[in-house]
Amino acid sequence: MRVLVPDLKEFRTLRVEGVEFAFYSESQLPEGEAEGAVLWLAPAPLRDRLLTWPGVKWVLTLTAGIDHVAGRLPQGVTLYNAHRLHDRAVAVHTLAGMLAAERGLHRFRDAQQQGRWQRTLNLGTLDGADVVIWGYGHIGKILEDLLRPFHARVTGLRSRTPAAERDAALAEADWVVLLLPSTPETQGIVNADVLARLKPGAWLSNQGRGSLIDTGALLAALDSGHLGGAVLDVTDPEPLPEDHPLWQQPNVLITPHIASSTRDLIARGAEYTRAFVEAMAAGREPAGRVEPGQKY
């Protein structure tokens, strides 16, 4: 079996019996057919070439989200994702953002840059906070476990949650955490109407995709003071342009789509690939198969 993998040093040392790895990069593509392609860190034009590579029967994207692949995959090619590679880091990053916001670290950092000793009592601990996790899958469950010692109350929302139940949970929430995938149904799911339903002072965390939130409505809710603040690892647009008004919001904490990054991510991605390809070569079904039309 021949498999296309990124040309990174951690992948160069992969060995699996009966498998030949062929390495691709932006500047160099291998020759010949391949049965599988492992997608990672490939810009759009390269990604599209890999998806339509001669002979490819399956594609593994080493991401959790599949929106960059959805709709581009030829008929009959099976798609797998690698949410397990990212679940824990994203959950930890989400918790870190919530704690940073509750403790006002962003405001203290702003004051620090001006050498201001600025004290306040307006700080929280998450104790008794109502946290709604919208998109309650693998990451959401890990986040719920991480939140337990902080005595937060967690409600998970799924696509099948009835609308009335969802709206009641949103109206009570101190935090709304978005872990939804980007699909046509989730596009702009947090709009002016949803933001208006939130309790005054509630915070929003988006660790899913920027397209989940109507950015104009978010800015309006922040400006009016209705929304307490937002912790955003993903934005719309992305990257966020230098002059975008979100940068200037005092109660917005922005990270540049790095929630899943860890120092050992590439090494873990290579090991994930090795185990995945070993299963494939042995005729076992690896984890992560994405069914067409899969919901959250």
Q: Can you name the residues that pair with 206 across neighbouring β-strands?
A: 178, 232
Q: Tell me whether residue 257 is one of the annotated catalytic residues.
A: yes
Q: Which residue in the list 93, 209, 268, 274 is annotated as catalytic?
A: 209
Residues 32, 22 contacting (CB under 8 angstroms): yes
Enumerate residues 252-281 that contact ligand GLV by CB under 6 A: 260
Helix (H, G, I), strand (E, B) or coil at 3: strand
Cβ nearer to ligand GLV, comparing 251 with 255: 255
**Rounded to an integer, what distance in angstroms lies between the CA atom of residue 83 and that of residue 91?**
12
Cβ nearer to ligand GLV, comparing 65 with 228: 65
Residues 101, 233 contacting (CB under 8 angstroms): no
Q: Which residue in the list 144, 238, 271, 278 is annotated as catalytic?
A: 238
How far apart, in Å, are the Cα atoms of 101 and each of 97, 122, 176, 296?
Answer: 6, 11, 13, 27
Residue facing ligand GLV at closest CB distance? 65
CB of 61 to ligand GLV, least distance (A): 8
Cβ nearer to ligand GLV, comparing 35 with 233: 233
Helix (H) or strand (E) holding 278: helix 265-281
Enumerate residues 143-172 that contact ligand GLV by CB under 6 A: none
Residues 36-65 as x/- pattern, contact with ligand GLV by CB under 6 A = ---------------------------xxx
CB of 110 to ligand GLV, least distance (A): 27
Q: Tell me whether residue 238 is one of the annotated catalytic residues.
A: yes
CB of 267 to ligand GLV, least distance (A): 16
CB of 123 to ligand GLV, least distance (A): 30
Count of residues that interact with ligand GLV, criterion CB under 6 A: 5
Reference 217, options 188, 242, 241, 239; nearest CA is 188
**Rounded to an integer, what distance in angstroms lies between the CA atom of residue 133 and that of residue 131?**
6
Cβ nearer to ligand GLV, comparing 63 with 249: 63
Asked if 86 interacts with ligand GLV (CB under 6 A), we say yes
**Rounded to an integer, what distance in angstroms lies between the CA atom of residue 86 and that of residue 260?**
5
Cβ nearer to ligand GLV, comparing 3 with 139: 139
Long-range contacts of 161-170 (CB under 8 A, 24+ apart): 167/197, 169/132, 170/132, 170/194, 170/197, 170/198
CB of 80 to ligand GLV, least distance (A): 13
- Count of residues making up the chain: 296
Active site residues: 209, 238, 257
Residues that bind ligand GLV (CB under 6 A): 63-65, 86, 260
